[in-house]
Chain A
Amino acid sequence: MTWQTFLFLIVAGAAFGYSVYRFSLLFKLLKAQQGKAPVRWNEIPTRVIDSVIHVLGQKAVLQKKYIGTLHTIIFWGFIIITVGTLEQFASTLYQPFNFSFIGEGPYFYLLWIQDLFTFLILFAVAGAFYRRLVVRPEGLGQSRDANIVLTFTGSLMISILVMNGFHILSPIAASHADAFVVSKHVASWFAALGFSPETNENLGTFFKWVHMLLVMGFAAYIPHSKHLHIIAAGPNTFLRQLTREKGMRPINFEDESLTQYGAAKITDMSWKDSLDLYSCTECGRCQDLCPAWNTQKPLSPKLLVLGLKENLYRNKEAILAGKIDEVSPVIDENTTQDVIWACTSCRACEVACPVFIEQTDKIYDIRRNLVMMESSMPDGVQAVFKNMETNATPWAFSSADRGKWAEDLSVPTMAETPQIDLLLWVGCAGSYDDRNKKVLRSFVNILKKAGVRFAILGNEEQCTGDPARRIGNEYLYQTLAKANIETLNRYNVKKVVTACPHCFNTIKNEYKDFGGDYEVFHHSQFIAQLIRDGKVKPSKGVDETITFHDSCYLGRWNNVYEQPRAVIESIPSARLVEMKQHHDSALCCGAGGGRMFMEETIGKRINIARTEQALDTKAGVIASSCPFCMTMMTDGVKSKEMLDKVKVLDIAELIDQAT
């Protein structure tokens, strides 16, 4: 045993021992979570392939070209160089060891590619530093942690190059000196120093130790750092929500052992939520797209995650000691009620996240506790709940008037005509809101022109419960959902169409959990199909430039982007133009997540921000496919005093006019 072996065992034992200890604490913290995690151990082959694509293939990371490329270089370089680091460790324990047993040829290329990536990583680190310190993207923020991580990474690479440079000039220079395509240039500079071969060997050994100590220091540092993502992000990707469609997790109110609904404390969340927190790399892609953050509200999905992580760490002693009673509330100086209520549940954060963190789940969990356990909610929401409880609509209208909008349209109800092809789910906005009643009339016209046999539920329809659910009142949601499912199943309904993306999402993705399984279409999908089948023929031209505003619950929550655009483009002489933000990056109108029913008192109004983007396109028509978006965009255009120049129309109205 040489002095090097001896020293290595002590130092490496201490550093890695400490690192493992810190990781084990993080693991124990994760296991101590009490909330129910989503069950995602299904579809293993799909998950494996998906993980290969997103982890090894870096697909999600590469959504951003510049930093994605740099990250991919560092990621792959890290794996390749770790092989060399292992060899280095092994040879320190037992000097003759190396990987040449894989064959001289492969070993040559292993050394070659390691040397090349050492340089490439250094280059990527320089690029990352340039971005952080010079370009300074807003979403990234200033982070000491990030600078330390980059410094570690850069120093590791420099130490390797210097080590190789000296070793090439030493007596132990391997027979593979030619493999060191980059280091040999370093060696040629060192040669100019004129040191003896023995001095070069000693300097090489010195920098090998510099490198090894840096590796150990980094290993000890990672558990405290955002660099933790190198451990957590892989499993988090494997366990991600595979489909776009995602229902909120139901609470089983029959379960009498449940005494806590939602998250009052960080420990009320699930281990998957903790894995999300560990996975965050603070890249800020979520924040860049967040409608709340971009209109000066206190919510940033990134800061939410960091705040929850801080809360978790702050409570680690109580949690690890099993003293859950002593854990502080999840609402704290970082995660305030204003943060939690600012969310429109547009899901731009989740879709943008390269490591598949699910921010909305955490907001929903915290809202559930505030509403159901603490009866704490923004002004006006209580009245919304009461309306939903008594009249099954968030607005103050009588349930006896729900079917009134269709009285002069000779649309049958299910009670009158149970033999139909399709149920038209009207929704509360279509039933009671004057502007949206017109949208429904247009859609009814289209269905009639296409000869579709359809009916409505009339006064038997109730609010789907979506606003209650998104605000956190799962109990009220389930009451309404179960009543609707009972009605739909009683009429043996198979196919449902609706002009409201919120109803669409709820009936399609969330009623399943309560025994409601239907084929559900949004009217954009249904109209697009009617046009494709030639049952509806837009023949009258609409000589307008039209910009389409994506609804979050249609686009991001259900990946329906093309059908509404196809509908618009089917109109002769209509020209579709996109706003600055569209598809997955589209800006919310501000009404989702129950925000439709809350005052917007902080910052700029989101609907104004979105209307400005629409007006920037110079389009004469803003096309919408959602009643809430319709209200918000119309209000926006009104505020901008542009109603005489720009019309806000639903796609059904456009097609009704064109046929």
Chain B
Amino acid sequence: MNIYVCIKQVPDTETKIKLNADNTGIDTAGIKWIMSPFDEFAVEEALRLKEKNAGSTVTVVSAGPVRVVDTLRTALAMGADNAIHVDAPETADNYRVAKAIAAALKKEPKVDIVFTGKEAIDDGAAQVSQLIAEAVGIPYVTVVLNAEYSADSVKCRREVEGGAIEVVTTPLPALVAAQKGMNEPRYASLPNIMKAKKKEVKVLKESDLGVSDADQKIRYKNLQLPPPKQAGKKIAGDPATQAKELARLLHEEAKVI
């Protein structure tokens, strides 16, 4: 099988986010970059599928500035065979990235299945996976908890609102977006880390993919950090007094009732 995984490089979860000087994005200085955790599930799922189907290859694709190559190498170290770096600007939005990646996938000789995370943990937009599938013209299933694969279809159990599970079967090729719990991503073994350092990463420019600034749909004008959390208030007194005081505060100070 020809398995593809789209991954995103995001700031580490412990990063203290700061805004850049003109408030149009975040200040990337000093940020530690990691693979978005949902994408780790996607890579792991792809590797497991490959291990069950001899002769398969796993190709990882990531869009962004040159630093995303590090994250591609992380995926190679986990066991992916090939990597494609779609060279896109820092500010590229979901649509632009999806269009570029879809074009990159269409250049590939054969795509049997595409994995992504259900969303990236930085913007949490959950857009790119569906946009890619639409642009490539394949069905997609999102928020997938587990999947059973056959030669020409995939049966997915996906999380829907209210804690229910929806079972969806779709023909291949298709795109599957992984939810947390789909698997336990592996820790790269050292021989694989060493091998990954030497693997070639294919680079595609936006111009090779028919993407340009004109595809940018979102421009950030003025980002603001959320106000710092206020200290909590403890209301004293017997239950009746407490309830009365709470109602007053909600009405007069918080102005929510």
Name A residues whose Cβ lies closer than 8 Å to a Cβ of B.
259, 261, 371-375, 377, 382, 385-386, 390-391, 396-401, 475
* Neighbouring A residues of B30 by C-beta, 8 Å: 400
Closest-CB distance, A407 to chain B (whole angstroms):
14
Stretch with Cβ within 8 A of A (4 or more), from B13-21, B83-91, B166-174: B13-21
- The reply to whether B13 and A396 form a contact with Cβ atoms under 8 Å apart is yes
Known contacts A399-B32, A475-B193; A391/B12 CB under 8 A: yes
B189 within 8 A of A: yes
B136 within 8 A of A: no
The 10 closest A-B pairs by CB, nearest first: A398-B14, A372-B190, A375-B187, A390-B32, A390-B12, A382-B187, A375-B189, A375-B186, A475-B190, A391-B14
* Neighbouring B residues of A385 by C-beta, 8 Å: 187
B188 within 8 A of A: yes
What are 10 sample pairs from A and B whose C-beta atoms fall under 8 A apart?
A261-B190, A374-B189, A375-B187, A375-B188, A390-B12, A398-B14, A398-B15, A399-B32, A401-B16, A475-B190
* Neighbouring A residues of B189 by C-beta, 8 Å: 372-375
The CA of A373 and the CA of B187, in the complex, are separated in Å by 10
B124 within 8 A of A: no
Closest-CB distance, B18 to chain A (whole angstroms):
10
Q: In chain B, what residue has the closest Cβ to A374?
A: B189
The CA of A259 and the CA of B195, in the complex, are separated in Å by 12
The CA of A377 and the CA of B184, in the complex, are separated in Å by 12
Question: Which one of B15, B34, B187, B191 lies within 8 Å of A377 (CB-CB)?
Answer: B187
* Neighbouring B residues of A391 by C-beta, 8 Å: 12, 14, 32
* Neighbouring B residues of A475 by C-beta, 8 Å: 190, 193
* Neighbouring A residues of B34 by C-beta, 8 Å: 386, 390
Most chain A CB within a 10 A radius of its CB, from B34, B186, B187: B187
Flag B24-37 by CB within 8 Å of A: 1 or 0 each: 00000010101000
Closest-CB distance, A86 to chain B (whole angstroms):
55
Known contacts A390-B32, A391-B32; A400/B190 CB under 8 A: no
Flag B174-212 by CB within 8 Å of A: 1 or 0 each: 000000000000111111010000000000000000000
* Neighbouring B residues of A398 by C-beta, 8 Å: 12, 14-16
* Neighbouring B residues of A390 by C-beta, 8 Å: 12, 14, 32, 34
Q: In chain A, what residue has the closest Cβ to B184?
A: A382
Q: How many A-B residue pairs have CB under 8 A?
A: 40
The total of chain B residues at the interface (CB under 8 A) is 15
The CA of A91 and the CA of B172, in the complex, are separated in Å by 91
The CA of A207 and the CA of B168, in the complex, are separated in Å by 89
Q: In chain B, what residue has the closest Cβ to A262?
A: B190
Name B residues whose Cβ lies closer than 8 Å to a Cβ of A.
12-16, 30, 32, 34, 186-191, 193
* Neighbouring A residues of B188 by C-beta, 8 Å: 375
The CA of A397 and the CA of B30, in the complex, are separated in Å by 15
Most chain B CB within a 10 A radius of its CB, from A259, A398, A475: A398
Q: In chain B, what residue has the closest Cβ to A397?
A: B14
* Neighbouring A residues of B14 by C-beta, 8 Å: 390-391, 396-399, 401
Q: In chain B, what residue has the closest Cβ to A395?
A: B14
Closest-CB distance, A394 to chain B (whole angstroms):
13
Closest-CB distance, B255 to chain A (whole angstroms):
35
* Neighbouring A residues of B32 by C-beta, 8 Å: 390-391, 399
* Neighbouring A residues of B13 by C-beta, 8 Å: 396
Known contacts A261-B190, A375-B186; A400/B16 CB under 8 A: yes
Q: In chain B, what residue has the closest Cβ to A251?
A: B190
* Neighbouring A residues of B193 by C-beta, 8 Å: 475
The CA of A277 and the CA of B187, in the complex, are separated in Å by 32
The CA of A324 and the CA of B177, in the complex, are separated in Å by 44
Most chain B CB within a 10 A radius of its CB, from A374, A377, A399: A399
Closest-CB distance, A277 to chain B (whole angstroms):
27
The CA of A487 and the CA of B12, in the complex, are separated in Å by 23
The CA of A398 and the CA of B15, in the complex, are separated in Å by 6
Question: Which one of B12, B15, B16, B191 lies within 8 Å of A373 (CB-CB)?
Answer: B191
Q: In chain B, what residue has the closest Cβ to A381?
A: B187
The CA of A400 and the CA of B29, in the complex, are separated in Å by 11
The CA of A261 and the CA of B186, in the complex, are separated in Å by 18
* Neighbouring B residues of A261 by C-beta, 8 Å: 190
Not counting A375-B188, A382-B187, A400-B15, a sample of 11 additional A-B residue pairs whose C-beta atoms are within 8 angstroms of each other reads: A371-B187, A372-B190, A375-B189, A377-B187, A390-B12, A391-B14, A396-B13, A398-B15, A399-B14, A401-B14, A475-B190
Q: In chain A, what residue has the closest Cβ to B74?
A: A389
Closest-CB distance, A337 to chain B (whole angstroms):
15
The CA of A372 and the CA of B30, in the complex, are separated in Å by 28
- The reply to whether A259 and B16 form a contact with Cβ atoms under 8 Å apart is no
The CA of A493 and the CA of B188, in the complex, are separated in Å by 35
Closest-CB distance, B77 to chain A (whole angstroms):
10
The CA of A432 and the CA of B238, in the complex, are separated in Å by 39
The CA of A373 and the CA of B13, in the complex, are separated in Å by 27
The CA of A375 and the CA of B185, in the complex, are separated in Å by 11
Closest-CB distance, B71 to chain A (whole angstroms):
12
- The reply to whether A259 and B191 form a contact with Cβ atoms under 8 Å apart is yes
Q: In chain B, what residue has the closest Cβ to A256?
A: B194
* Neighbouring A residues of B190 by C-beta, 8 Å: 261, 372-373, 475
Closest-CB distance, B123 to chain A (whole angstroms):
19
The CA of A137 and the CA of B61, in the complex, are separated in Å by 63
The CA of A372 and the CA of B15, in the complex, are separated in Å by 28
Q: In chain A, what residue has the closest Cβ to B30?
A: A400
* Neighbouring B residues of A397 by C-beta, 8 Å: 14
Closest-CB distance, A374 to chain B (whole angstroms):
7
The CA of A385 and the CA of B190, in the complex, are separated in Å by 13
